[in-house]
Amino acid sequence: MKASISINKDDKISAIDNRIYGSFIEHLGRAVYGGIYRPQDKSADEMGFRKDVLELVKELKVPLVRYPGGNFVSGYNWEDGTGPRENRPKKLDLAWASIETNEIGIDEFQEWAKRADTEIMMAVNLGTRGAAEAGNLVEYCNLDTDTYYADMRRKNGFDEPFGIKVWCLGNEMDGPWQIGHLTAEEYARKAHEAAKIMKWTDPSIELVACGSSNRWMPTFGDWEKTVLRECYDDIDYLSLHSYYGNPNNNTPEYLAQPLIMDDFIKTVAKICDEVKAEKNSDKTINLSFDEWNVWFHSNEQDKQVPRWSYAPRLLEDIYNFEDALVVGMLLITLINNADRVKIACLAQLVNVIAPIMTEDDGCWVQTIFYPFLHASTFGRGTALKTDIGCGTYDTDSTKNVPYITASAVENDDGTITVFAVNRSLDEEAELELSGLEGYSLQQHTELCCDDMKAVNSISQPDNVKPSEKAIGEKAVLSAHSWNVLRFIKK
């Protein structure tokens, strides 16, 4: 088939906030214990952090990592994870029916974040706790006053404040599964009061209020409006969460799901702007898509996990090649919405629905590692508008799904990078590119595999991996492929 992508360098979407390449580590399964931290590991550093995992995290250039949850945070006492280890309580984690030893807390995690060259996006517990404890945590992390919580941090060995800039006001508080689930009105009041105390403690922080846990929540829309009306002046971002999957093994349908993400973002941005107009405010609320990924493979096996285990294998989705295409298109969608999405977190980073997996004898990367690596490496700069001409297909639930989806980024060094996916399962696409006069295609990296269900594993870590395509007269996107096209000035 023939397809066209037209780019006008003067038609910009927005500067890209690098934090859209953020990720997430929750106290859940083997994310922390066994994943980033394993003192007996052959690669462990002096604090017990796995250096093999740190190397892969650094390769992904993750600018921001959300911590410590997730559902976990809604039952968490942050003080349990501070101070001498021998005094830390072992507790039930009601969110994941696991045992939490508190060996790792904010003190250790900020050490890990330094080693990973990343910033922490800290979530506070608005489930079982409230504004006072949230404010105390801000003091503990960010203040250099001679007061109780800042002194407590010093006593624990950290003279310098951690300087955590972005804070989440709870997690998925609209969900009945959440510890301390709230109605929209209850959450809006609680978040407003927590926000006041947190910003009074440190006015330099940015706050993210919970939006809906997904597009299909019965309260979607009303929840956002209620929260925004109450918290508009306190917050900087509203959150969105979404997971995608192919439980019915319908690949054309699955490949169309990134369109749902696009619609979700645009609908929430519209709601933010309606409330802005209602309030006659000059302030724009931007979006934090702070949980997104594919998540469905592990659902059945998770039901077999015994309750009250320590670091059980939970949410360990093994991603196949078609999942990587979907993750690539979700990244394209985030780039194309860079004017409103300023933070996004691939959920999660290690072992739990993750691009990086560990075993006791090493680590390996999943198929989804690659589109994330490419976007995080080459997707920085300014997002440009693209005009795409191509055929479409229909699924039972979605009409007119374009075969080609793409985004274009003008990188800071003047290179233009185009990310493109060909959704067609059987036809390659010959690309007609316009607007790139004066540029030449320098590199074409492709992730493509005959078997849509192919996976990587510790024994076959390179089963699915990218390759370089020869540069010809025309760029050709193979059937069902993820592509990175890099154009340099002639």
> Would you mind telling me the total number of residues written for the chain in this entry?
490
Q: Is the peptide bond before 257 cis (omega within 30 degrees of 0)?
A: no
Q: Does 69 bind ligand AHR (CB under 6 A)?
A: yes
Nearer to ligand AHR (CB atom), residue 325 or residue 354: 354
Which tokens go with 363?
């680590």
**DSSP H helical segments within 346-469, as ranges?**
369-378
Which tokens go with 408?
């274009």
Nearer to ligand AHR (CB atom), residue 331 or residue 441: 331
Q: Does 125 bind ligand AHR (CB under 6 A)?
A: no
443 vs 319: CA distance, rounded Å: 26
In the three-class reduction of DSSP (H, G, I as helix; E, B as strand; rest coil), residue 26 is classed as coil
State the number of binding residues for ligand AHR (CB under 6 A): 9
**In the complex, what is the shortest distance from the CB of residue 466 to ligand AHR, in angstroms, rounded to a whole number?**
26
**In the complex, what is the shortest distance from the CB of residue 19 to ligand AHR, in angstroms, rounded to a whole number?**
18
Each residue 410-449 as x (binds ligand AHR by CB under 6 A) or -, in order, gives: ----------------------------------------
**In the complex, what is the shortest distance from the CB of residue 243 to ligand AHR, in angstroms, rounded to a whole number?**
7
**In the complex, what is the shortest distance from the CB of residue 281 to ligand AHR, in angstroms, rounded to a whole number?**
29
196 vs 235: CA distance, rounded Å: 10
Which tokens go with 347?
């959920």
Give yes or no for a contact between 168 and 176, defined as CB atoms under 8 angstroms apart. Answer: no
Nearer to ligand AHR (CB atom), residue 312 or residue 466: 312
**In the complex, what is the shortest distance from the CB of residue 293 to ligand AHR, in angstroms, rounded to a whole number?**
8
Choose one: 69-77, 219-227, 267-275, 422-430; the region binding ligand AHR (CB under 6 A): 69-77
**In the complex, what is the shortest distance from the CB of residue 302 to ligand AHR, in angstroms, rounded to a whole number?**
11
Q: At what angle do helices 184-201 and 131-142 cross, to 10 degrees?
A: 30
Q: Does 288 bind ligand AHR (CB under 6 A)?
A: no
Q: What is the CA radius of gyration of the chain?
A: 22
461 vs 362: CA distance, rounded Å: 11
Nearer to ligand AHR (CB atom), residue 358 or residue 422: 358
List the one residue from 102, 251, 348, 481 that touches ligand AHR (CB under 6 A): 348
Output the CA torsion sign for 209, 213, 218, 221: positive
Element (H, E) at 410: strand 404-410
Which tokens go with 153?
């941090």
Which tokens go with 251?
């690949």
463 vs 223: CA distance, rounded Å: 44
List the one residue from 166, 169, 332, 347 that touches ligand AHR (CB under 6 A): 347
List the one residue from 19, 27, 63, 71 that touches ligand AHR (CB under 6 A): 71
**In the complex, what is the shortest distance from the CB of residue 378 to ligand AHR, in angstroms, rounded to a whole number?**
26
Which tokens go with 132?
């006072």
Nearer to ligand AHR (CB atom), residue 348 or residue 407: 348
Choose one: 65-73, 268-276, 385-393, 437-445; the region binding ligand AHR (CB under 6 A): 65-73
Question: In sequence order, what are the residues at sequence separation of 6 or more whose Cβ sits closer than 8 angstroms to the Cβ of residue 304?
Answer: none
Nearer to ligand AHR (CB atom), residue 298 or residue 422: 298
Q: Does 242 bind ligand AHR (CB under 6 A)?
A: no
Which tokens go with 208?
């993210």
Nearer to ligand AHR (CB atom), residue 298 or residue 424: 298
Which tokens go with 292?
């997104």
* Active-site amino acid positions: 172, 291
List the one residue from 34, 35, 68, 70 that touches ligand AHR (CB under 6 A): 70
Distance of CA 202 to the CA centre of its chain: 25
450 vs 321: CA distance, rounded Å: 9
Q: Which amino acid belongs to residue 62?
A: V
Choose one: 68-76, 155-163, 204-212, 317-325; the region binding ligand AHR (CB under 6 A): 68-76
Nearer to ligand AHR (CB atom), residue 102 or residue 483: 102
Q: Does 26 bind ligand AHR (CB under 6 A)?
A: yes
Nearer to ligand AHR (CB atom), residue 123 or residue 384: 123
Give yes or no for a contact between 245 and 254, defined as CB atoms under 8 angstroms apart. Answer: yes
Q: Does 174 bind ligand AHR (CB under 6 A)?
A: no
Choose one: 66-74, 143-151, 155-163, 265-273; the region binding ligand AHR (CB under 6 A): 66-74
Give yes or no for a contact between 128 and 179, defined as CB atoms under 8 angstroms apart. Answer: yes
Q: Does 172 bind ligand AHR (CB under 6 A)?
A: yes
Which tokens go with 421?
């996916």
**Do the bridges between strand 166-169 and strand 356-359 make them parallel or antiparallel, or are there none, so unpaired?**
unpaired
**In the complex, what is the shortest distance from the CB of residue 327 to ligand AHR, in angstroms, rounded to a whole number?**
15
Choose one: 38-46, 63-71, 191-199, 302-310; the region binding ligand AHR (CB under 6 A): 63-71
Binding site for ligand AHR (CB under 6 A): 26, 69-71, 171-172, 291, 347-348
